[in-house]
Amino acid sequence: MSATLNWIGYKTLVRKEVKRILRIWGQTIVPPAITMTLYFIIFGNLIGKRIGTMDGVDYMTFIVPGLVMMSVITNSYGNMVSSFFGAKFGRHIEELLVSPLPSYVIVAGYVSGAMVRGLMVGSVVTMIAMQFTDIEIHNLWVTFSIALLTSILFALAGMVNAIFAQKFDDIAIIPTFILTPLTYLGGVFYSISLLPEFWQKVSAFNPIFYIINGFRYGMLGRSDVSIGTAYVIIILFVAILGSVCLWLVHTGKGLRS
Amino acid sequence: MPTINALEITDLNKTYSNGVEALKGVSLSVEKGDFFALLGPNGAGKSTMIGIISSLVNTSSGEVKVFGDSVQKNRSAAMRHLGLVPQELNFNQFESPLDIVVNQAGYYGLTRPVAIERAEKYLKQLKLWDKHDKPARQLSGGMKRRLMIARAMVHEPELLILDEPTAGVDIEIRREMWEFIKGINDAGTTVILTTHYLEEAEQLCRNIAIINHGNLVENTDVKSLLASLDVETFLLDLREPMTVAPVVEGITTRLLDSSQLEAIVPKERSLNNLFAALDQAGVHVLSMRNKANRLEELFMRMVNEDNRDHQLESSL
């Protein structure tokens, strides 16, 4: 009985989040599509022609997995922080907090909403990429599962940020000063083999490096790390951040007085 | 078999992280089907108490049970009995009233067809259906308050808590809201109301609790509370201006201005005494009214007495 009621609550929350994404499509879908098109034109086409190949594939093809992942990461994270913090700031998070929904349903509902946006934008970027280069997916299951896990991971990270944020500035700091640098340094535009040995070792501490390489393996069959290591790292972070989010929502940290 | 109270609060304490003690060992119960007023001045602890009942505020110690289910031990079950109309607007202003109410129904496990049917029913009852698909930010202040009532009612809770539902609402809409809430109570829903309009509490509620400085000052039924009122204060509008208040035996009189007289009449004195004395003094009264409603007079006295005790304790 309770499981049925929770399932209805979960579906309601996801529907509400998806409706929000579609209502403000000009902010959620269009800007990343335009940005990524520019990346493909400038880095892939204009500069990429002079670079030639990277890791055995032409440069345009090489950057596709990184740019798709970059879209999934920023949009999953961005959707969660803006929606969850907006609900906290506008106090309509109270609609959920006074409801009988258990913490895990609230976390799952918001994470699913953020995943929808991350994967939707990721799909749009993939379709744009297909206009610039021919892509033959090396392993569909790996490609899809890494994208799925990545969207979960960054939705959870966004939730932690939103829970602790007190003002709108607080939800801009992490993406600007941590997420974007880690994404760019995670091998979106280059293979780690180009770096000096010291910086190769430093890159090994960047979780986004494993995500991008795992996804690149799925799409192109090429990676700087083993696919097993990539899965372990991603699943480990999902488990840690998932537990943190559940604990935060359950105890009401930053949500209940 | 003992009957389960709608609300059972036991030794409730709340100290915020900044050290403010909002509630100090409050215990009270509200019977099923009651129309209960929770009164107190600003900062008395009312909103903290409502926050704890609705699980928006964590308790420091003590327990709250809603229809027998502990908010602290079995939150989900307790929340299923409860509907909350908060003091501050807390819905997404960009969503439509229909979406707001339907979503809330979904959080309580109502299937979508039932949720839509119920939302339509309550939005119509609260005269919001014309605006059901407009963004909520376009609603007037009174409409926004009624929207929160519709949202709280959509899962048809057994206990409805209204935290100052008529604040800032014009008198016509306020009276319509009273009728709606009275209808809900007559249909069996237990209602707890906090308000600064004591006339509202006097007209609607059967039982009452007054809290001040986080303590329960009074918890009784409205009738016996009003019966304990030993004086009533009246304002009399005079036909001719006066400079000195007439002396009336056993009744305290004073001029508020040259044409308005205040008379404090003890319960054992008849108003006839007052009018006889005024007539004898050649004073003609055009009209008369209560200075404050009776509950307001009692409320002010209790709170003032409690404030004096509190100041005395603080100075020791």
The predicted-structure confidence for B232-249, as pLDDT tens digits, reads as follows: 788 889 888 888 888 888
Distance (Å) from the alpha carbon of B8 to chain A's nearest alpha carbon: 18
d(Cα B46, Cα B89) in Å, to the nearest integer?
17
The residue assigned the tokens 């959870």 is A156
Residues in B touching A2 (Cβ below 8 Å): 76
Confirm if A20 and A87 have CB atoms less than 8 A apart: no
Phi, psi of A37 (to 5 degrees): -60, -45
Neighbours of A94 (CB within 10 A): 22
DSSP percent split of chain A into helix, strand, coil, nearest 5: 80, 0, 20
Eight-state DSSP code of residue B221: E
Averaged pLDDT, B189-197: 86
Counting residues of chain A whose pLDDT is more than 70, the rounded percentage is 100
For residue B152, the chain A residue with the least C-alpha distance is A95
- Lowest-pLDDT range of A64-73, A74-83, A226-235, B165-174: B165-174
Mean pLDDT of chain A: 89
Partner-chain contact B107 A9, CB within 8 Å: yes
Residues in A touching B82 (Cβ below 8 Å): 98
Structure token pair of residue A56: 């055995």
Q: Where does the pLDDT of residue B315 fall: very low under 50, low under 70, confident under 90, or very high at 90 and above?
A: low
> What do you get for the CA distance between the two ends of chain A, in Å?
31
Alpha carbon B68 to its chain's center? 24
Cα–Cα nearest to A219, from A150, A141, A148: A141
Residue A200: burial class (beta carbons within 10 Å; 0-12, 13-18, 19+): middle
Partner-chain contact A95 B93, CB within 8 Å: no
Distance (Å) from the alpha carbon of B62 to chain A's nearest alpha carbon: 16
User: Count of residues for chain A?
Assistant: 257
Domains B7-226 and B230-294 share a fold: no
Averaged pLDDT, A70-97: 92
d(Cα B250, Cα B268) in Å, to the nearest integer?
9
Confirm if B40 and B212 have CB atoms less than 8 A apart: yes
- The residues of A whose Cβ lies within 8 A of any Cβ of B are 2, 4-6, 8-9, 11-13, 15-16, 19, 23, 87, 90-92, 94-102, 251-252, 256-257
Domain ranges in chain B?
7-226, 230-294
d(Cα A41, Cα B166) in Å, to the nearest integer?
59
Q: In CATH, what is the architecture of B230-294?
A: 2-Layer Sandwich (3.30)
Most confident range, picked from A30-44, A204-218, B93-107: B93-107
The predicted-structure confidence for B284-314, as pLDDT tens digits, reads as follows: 888 888 876 666 666 777 777 777 777 766 6
d(Cα B30, Cα B8) in Å, to the nearest integer?
7
Cα–Cα nearest to B62, from B120, B107, B11: B11
Q: Where does the pLDDT of residue B169 fall: very low under 50, low under 70, confident under 90, or very high at 90 and above?
A: confident
Element (H, E) at B265: strand B260-266
Of the candidates A9, A16, A92, which has its C-beta nearest B90's C-beta?
Answer: A92
Q: How many secondary structure helices (H) and strands (E) does chain A include?
A: 13, 2
Residues in A touching B109 (Cβ below 8 Å): 4-6, 8-9, 100
A1 pLDDT more than 60:
no
Cα–Cα nearest to A208, from A87, A65, A78, A60: A65
Of the candidates A8, A92, A98, which has its C-beta nearest B92's C-beta?
Answer: A92
Domain ranges in chain A?
2-251
Residue spans of beta strands (DSSP E) within chain A: 53-54, 57-58
What are the residues whose beta carbons fall under 8 Å from the beta carbon of A123, sequence distance 6 or more?
Answer: none
B52 pLDDT more than 90:
yes
b/e string for B286-314 if b means 16 or more Cβ within 10 A? eeeeeebbbbbbbbeebbeebeeeeeeee
Q: What is the pLDDT of residue B79?
A: 94
Averaged pLDDT, B91-106: 94
- Lowest-pLDDT range of A45-59, B31-45, B48-62, B285-299: B285-299
Cα–Cα nearest to B116, from B96, B89, B140: B96
CATH number of the domain at B7-226, out of 3.40.1370.10, 3.90.180.10, 1.10.150.20, 3.40.50.300? Answer: 3.40.50.300
Averaged pLDDT, A33-39: 87
User: Count of residues for chain B?
Assistant: 316
Partner-chain contact B89 A6, CB within 8 Å: no
Residues in A touching B108 (Cβ below 8 Å): 5, 9, 99-100
Q: What is the pLDDT of residue A32?
A: 85
Partner-chain contact A256 B151, CB within 8 Å: no
Confirm if B146 and B177 have CB atoms less than 8 A apart: yes
The predicted-structure confidence for A209-256, as pLDDT tens digits, reads as follows: 899 889 989 988 888 888 999 999 999 999 999 999 999 999 888 888
d(Cα B297, Cα A247) in Å, to the nearest integer?
48
ipTM summary value: 0.84
d(Cα B143, Cα B96) in Å, to the nearest integer?
12
d(Cα B132, Cα B36) in Å, to the nearest integer?
31
Q: Which amino acid is at B52?
A: I
B305-310's contacts with Cβ under 8 Å and 24+ in sequence apart are B306/B212, B306/B213, B306/B215, B306/B217, B307/B212, B307/B213, B310/B212, B310/B213
Preferred mutation among A17, A25, A99 to probe B, highest tally of B CBs within 10 A: A99
Element (H, E) at B119: helix B112-125
B129 pLDDT more than 90:
yes
Q: What is the pLDDT of residue B61?
A: 92
d(Cα B197, Cα B228) in Å, to the nearest integer?
20
Of the candidates A2, A8, A256, which has its C-beta nearest B56's C-beta?
Answer: A256
